[in-house]
Structure 1
């Protein structure tokens, strides 16, 4: 049984035309299909699955759900009773509930976020193919993001009331889905309260992250770029297109990633993320960040937290 990687994110957007301009022309994704219900499906040039992002027209922004891909259909049957043994209700959605995708195991994390697991999705190939491929296609547009890399979820946290869904989610991901912890922020008088965690199921520093806040929501979805130069170029593309940039290009202390944060037209935060940082391996010691060093953990260059970064999310 194995969760391999993030599969797709489903976002609500308030202006589909503006959203398509953003994800298509600014990030460089491509529309692969639209369905009768009005959902739009997109992929990045270096992805082989048919889509990694689903956009749904709505009167409010935010995350509908995030889906992770497991190795085999049989994994869904193994995982369903394990999830339910945790006291979490599940639903097995039949194949075809989502276009060109097999069965999906649907449930909610302790934080309330909807998650789905699936094993099969139509593969259409990357834009450079798999036979003697070039390093990149001639059709790259905008920032030219390679793939959907990870997601960060804001999770309700009120230690005084005994509520910490960051810790609950982290334990669930470890015990049930076999993710492992790469880094965490510990706070409180005894420095034992998990205020934020970064977790991996691949070899990158994080495939999902959880940060505590007054309510649960979406902090950002992140797209991979090759290098610091590509992050800078993506900032130029955003400036040309008058994209609302939240945090200009910088480096994280946590994960060591090179980054820029910005918003789509509906207010959903995006990130372009570069730099491997380190190999996330199961026997790598967990990196601990203390509350007094959190500024440099998030924004290494200045060491100063940006208010909007933790206070604004969908």
Structure 2
């Protein structure tokens, strides 16, 4: 059987729910310097300056925080049909639907945890306005030169009730490759990092300690440098945005990071775009033990407790 790896080219977009639409919109447009490129009912479509597709974020007013649809762009029409056939064979298909602005025919499905996803190939590329036209034609939009200057969508980390089950789906049905993972002393996987290309990771599953399904851990955006992340910390400090942890360096994947909560309650990460690449065609998954992870992050900072308890939508934590 031919490998499914690279049938999914990359993450396309993510839909975020927010109970405070105007403040969340302010966060993404004013602090992250994203451009609003469209409205549809209760949703705004937002574009990060160097994402080539129509939009990066679909921000939707909702009764609570959390994640809506995750878009995956297939590598070709043939790749799209292969992945749809695999999804249907796995019993996770929902069906074809209108993908909305910037997307052609789109197939909806869910992972085993219930996170809604879309896969598509036909895509409308971002067209800058006269005002936002970049000086360099190989760039999607003008560099904003303000705020955090979020460059592009980097990865999404889902919370999952069963990390291993979700991981099998991503690997066997979507064609993702696990690059790193955490195995607890009881043998269970508590986290897996998957790539669809040469990036070290695109999609992550972390164990949901509440036993819930379908929740979000965080959405991450790439910056150019570590200095951008340090500047971002000051911007968030000045604007009353809760900084959860960082700036610091992860041990797993070695990403330089900063985590904040946007006004709607969703966790947002900023990470340096110079993260590691996976060039080896025979890459062997790096496994971390529970004892190794207990040491904390790369430079010794312990992992903050809310990293294991905060997710969206919020749920009542189990009694300790």
TM-score, normalised relative to structure 2: 0.88
Match of 2:202 in 1: 207
**3-state SS of 2:234 partner:** helix
**SS of corresponding position for 1:34:** strand
Q: What does the per-residue CA deviation read over 1:94-130, in whole Å, with 9 as the maximum and x for residues that have no partner?
A: 4xx4123111111110111111111122112475648
2: CA distance, partners of 1:72 / 1:48:
16
Q: Is the 8 A contact 2:73 2:121 kept in 1?
A: yes
Tell me: CA distance 1:256–1:240, structure 2 relative to 1, closer, same or farther (3 Å): same
Partner of 1:161: none
After TM superposition, the structure 1 stretch with the greater mean CA deviation from structure 2, 211-220 or 144-153, is 211-220
Secondary structure at 1:6 match in 2 = strand
Q: Secondary structure at the match of 1:74?
A: helix
1:196 aligns with 2:191: yes
Q: How is 1:265-304 mapped onto 2 (pairs within 5 angstroms)?
A: 265-281=263-279, 282-296=281-295, 299-304=297-302
Aligned length: 300
Shift of 1:275: 4.9
Secondary structure at 1:98's aligned position in 2?
A: coil
2:240 partner SS: coil
2:225/2:274 contact within 8 Å kept: no
Counterparts of 1:79 and 1:130 in 2: how far apart (Å)?
Answer: 38
- Say which SS state the counterpart of residue 12 (structure 1) adopts: strand
Q: 1:265 to 1:78 in 2, by over 3 A?
A: same
Q: Deviations over 1:250-269 (max 9, x none)?
A: 00000100000001111000
Deviations 1:19-61 (A, max 9, x none): 11100111111101112x1210001111121101001111111
Partners of 1:168 and 1:178 in 2: CA distance: 14
| 1:177 CA displacement | 1.3
Task: Go from structure 1 to structure 2 and tell me whether the alpha carbon gap of 1:102 and 1:130 turns closer, same or farther (over 3 Å shift).
Answer: farther
Equivalent residue for 1:46? 50
Task: Please point out which of 175, 181, 194 is paired with 1:178.
Answer: 175
Unaligned runs of 5+ in 2: 313-320
Answer whether contact 1:45 1:140 (CA < 8 A) is retained. Answer: no
Q: Which runs of 5+ in 1 are unaligned?
A: 157-164
